């Protein structure tokens, strides 16, 4: 066996080991170690991506060389390696760019615990991406849920505690439904490994009674992961979760965790059920309708939001709708568009969540729209990064968001359904207009000179639930005087560059996704 086939397993094991190690390290050493090991993981995954692209084949690593049902399997192909690499890059830049706020939002004695949770979360992400066993997917799904709650609640405010409890309740509900679906699938097929399960499903799908049970189990499983990923109408937990987390956590939860749930669902459709059988089920049509609903209602909620973080969070709900709409459209074009949007949205949303607190920092530590007037003029680097992210979300050419919307339009035309084509085109237009309304409104506000004269006043801001002061400022000139901050500017510049690359050279990533899908079944 070629040694490179061990690399996917190394990414999981190394992450688990690093989680334990960071508990023993002081805060800054835990951070530096995590950044170094993330670079190592990126190197391992890059090697796997290069290998699978060069050979044009995926490979399966059998744990301990034990066959099913005793053994466990890891599978690596172009699509898995591409998603893993994107996730690791976003994780890396989010930890660097958010370090300033980590030191202020989290008690110094708990920063090493934060990196412990991040490393365990990374292990769960890698396992979900690589696994070829549906029950292993469930195990690491739970680890992902617990660590996600941990990086949220580690910011000790009343609102973060409330948000974490709500997030935990919704995710446990989703996990319970997912487990029920897994149990039913195992009861029907007698398999937990994905390929043997698909082979059994292809046989029993000819029996209408078995097919009905299969649809029921897959529907329960889909509802579970839809709740966890924030698909409409299960998206109401997102604003508090993302809005009250420290910026690194908000970027990780929005860009990576929610997308990992969708990617696992995608793998189940392809590798456990078989995409041909899945497209015959009513589930795909339900996902299409809910995806359209998410696009509309998420955008409307973002338009009505009172502060910038809630706006970005509700916008995430709308973008999740795009992904599920692409899955509902079906066909190679629809699945390609959905996968491309996972990458595009992950890059853009992490940029926005890392940038908004910088604008608030020069606005009395407030995220309210009434307070952030002129903030981009005070903090020009953050203003430019927010501008780039906003243009991508609106769908302006040269940015990833434009390529993504174009792919969805092509998928709709290629769907072969006039009704789907019409509904998709209408909702793409409506969503684009709504996106433009709330992002352009925000851009106008942050680039409008503040003539209220309030900048010289000393202002305090309290957490509504606890009364704890979370902001205190006389003027934010001190923030402006810091000048060039490499630990923020360089990571965000990387995200902008990746976004522009997806906009200008989308065909490169689309080609990789299509090749990955061809070996995914």
Q: What is the pLDDT of residue 479?
A: 46
Count of domains observed in the chain: 1
Higher pLDDT, 365 or 79: 79
Cβ neighbours around 160 below 10 Å, total: 25
Query: In terms of DSSP H, where are the helices of 230-330?
Result: 238-243, 247-252, 258-267, 275-278, 283-304, 308-329
Q: What are phi and psi of 188, to 5 degrees?
A: -75, -45
Q: Is the residue at 333 inside a domain?
A: yes
Q: Is the residue at 270 inside a domain?
A: no
Interval 310-319 mean pLDDT: 87
| Beta partners for residue 59, in sequence order | 76
Residue 163 has, within 13 A of its CA and on its CB side, a CA count of 32
- Which residues, including other chains, have CB under 8 Å from residue 95's CB and lie 6 or more apart? 31, 34, 35, 38, 118, 248
Q: Is the residue at 76 inside a domain?
A: no
Q: Is the residue at 418 inside a domain?
A: yes
Domain that holds residue 459: 282-521
Interval 380-396 mean pLDDT: 90
Per-residue pLDDT band for 372 (boundaries 50, 70, 90) equals confident
- pLDDT above 60 for 174: yes
Per-residue pLDDT band for 206 (boundaries 50, 70, 90) equals confident
Residue 207 has, within 13 A of its CA and on its CB side, a CA count of 9
Q: Is the residue at 330 inside a domain?
A: yes
Strand, helix or coil at 196?
helix
- pLDDT above 90 for 165: no
- pLDDT above 70 for 311: yes
- pLDDT above 80 for 23: yes
Interval 319-348 mean pLDDT: 91
Strand, helix or coil at 461?
strand
Q: Is the residue at 18 inside a domain?
A: no
- Sign of the C-alpha dihedral computed for residues 430, 432, 435 and 441 taken in this order: negative
- pLDDT above 90 for 340: yes
Q: Is the residue at 121 inside a domain?
A: no
115-130 pLDDT, tens digit per residue, is 999 999 999 999 999 9
**Per mean pLDDT, which of 83-97, 228-242, 401-415 is the most reliable?**
83-97
Smallest CA-to-CA distance from 69 within 197, 258, 223 is with 197
Question: If you search the block for the tokens 């609903």, which residue do you land on?
Answer: 293
- pLDDT above 70 for 203: yes
Q: What is the pLDDT of residue 495?
A: 93
Mean pLDDT of the chain: 84
Q: Is the residue at 304 inside a domain?
A: yes
Smallest CA-to-CA distance from 346 within 265, 263, 268 is with 263
Q: What is the pLDDT of residue 67?
A: 64
In order, the DSSP letters of 105-147 are HS-GGGHHHHHHHHHHHHHHHHHHHHB-BHHHHHHHHHHHHHH
Q: What is the pLDDT of residue 83?
A: 94
Question: If you search the block for the tokens 């897959």, which residue do you land on?
Answer: 218
Q: What is the pLDDT of residue 52?
A: 92
Interval 385-394 mean pLDDT: 91
- pLDDT above 90 for 45: yes
277-292 pLDDT, tens digit per residue, is 888 888 888 999 999 9
Interval 343-359 mean pLDDT: 90
- Which residues, including other chains, have CB under 8 Å from residue 285's CB and lie 6 or more apart? 328
Q: What is the pLDDT of residue 361?
A: 81
Please, is 421 exposed, middle or buried when counting C-beta atoms within 10 Å of its C-beta (0-12, 13-18, 19+)? middle
Q: What is the pLDDT of residue 461?
A: 40
């Amino acid at each position: 066996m070629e040694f490179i086939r061990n690399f996917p397993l190394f990414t999981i094991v190394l992450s688990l080991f690093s989680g334990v190690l960071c508990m023993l390290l002081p805060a800054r050493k835990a951070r530096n170690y995590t950044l170094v090991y993330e670079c190592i993981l990126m190197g391992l995954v890059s090697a796997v991506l290069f290998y699978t692209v060069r050979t044009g084949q995926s490979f399966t690593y059998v744990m301990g060389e034990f066959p099913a049902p005793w053994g466990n399997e890891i599978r690596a192909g172009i699509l898995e390696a591409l998603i893993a690499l994107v996730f690791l890059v976003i994780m890396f830049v989010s930890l660097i760019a958010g370090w300033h706020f980590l030191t202020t939002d989290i008690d110094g004695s708990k920063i090493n615990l934060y990196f412990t949770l991040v490393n365990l979360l990374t292990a769960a992400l890698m396992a979900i991406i690589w696994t070829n066993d549906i029950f292993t997917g469930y195990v690491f799904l739970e680890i992902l849920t617990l660590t996600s709650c941990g990086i949220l609640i580690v910011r000790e405010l009343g609102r973060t505690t409330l948000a974490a409890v709500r997030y935990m309740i919704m995710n446990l509900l989703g996990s319970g439904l997912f487990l029920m679906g897994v149990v039913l699938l195992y009861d029907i097929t007698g398999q937990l490994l994905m390929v043997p399960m698909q082979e059994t499903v292809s046989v029993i799908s000819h029996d209408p009674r078995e097919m009905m049970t299969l649809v029921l189990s897959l529907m329960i499983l889909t509802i579970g992961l839809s709740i966890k990923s924030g698909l409409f109408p299960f998206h109401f937990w997102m604003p508090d979760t993302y809005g009250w987390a420290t910026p690194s956590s908000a970027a990780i939860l929005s860009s990576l965790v929610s997308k990992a749930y969708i990617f696992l669902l995608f793998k189940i459709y392809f590798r456990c059920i078989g995409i041909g059988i899945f497209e015959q089920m009513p589930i795909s049509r339900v996902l299409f309708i809910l995806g359209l609903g998410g696009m509309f209602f998420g955008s409307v909620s973002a338009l009505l939001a009172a502060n910038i973080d809630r706006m970005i969070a509700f916008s995430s709900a709308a973008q999740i709708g795009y992904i599920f709409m692409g899955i509902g459209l079906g066909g190679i074009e629809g699945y390609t568009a959905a996968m491309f949007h996972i990458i595009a949205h992950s890059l853009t949303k992490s940029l926005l969540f890392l940038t908004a607190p910088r604008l608030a920092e020069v606005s009395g530590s407030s995220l309210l729209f009434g307070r952030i007037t002129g903030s981009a003029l005070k903090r020009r680097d953050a203003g430019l990064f927010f501008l780039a992210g906003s243009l991508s979300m609106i769908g302006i050419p040269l940015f990833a968001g434009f390529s993504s919307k174009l792919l969805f339009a092509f998928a709709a035309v290629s769907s072969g359904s006039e009704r789907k084509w019409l509904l998709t085109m209408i909702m793409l237009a409506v969503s684009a207009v709504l996106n433009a309304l709330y992002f352009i409104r925000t851009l106008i506000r942050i680039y409008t000179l503040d003539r209220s004269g309030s900048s010289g006043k000393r202002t305090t801001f309290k957490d509504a639930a606890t009364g704890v002061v979370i902001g205190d400022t006389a003027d934010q000139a001190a923030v402006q005087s810091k000048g060039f901050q490499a630990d923020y500017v360089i990571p965000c510049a990387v995200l902008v560059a990746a976004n522009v690359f997806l906009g200008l050279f989308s065909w490169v990533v689309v080609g990789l996704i299509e090749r990955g899908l061809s070996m995914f079944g």
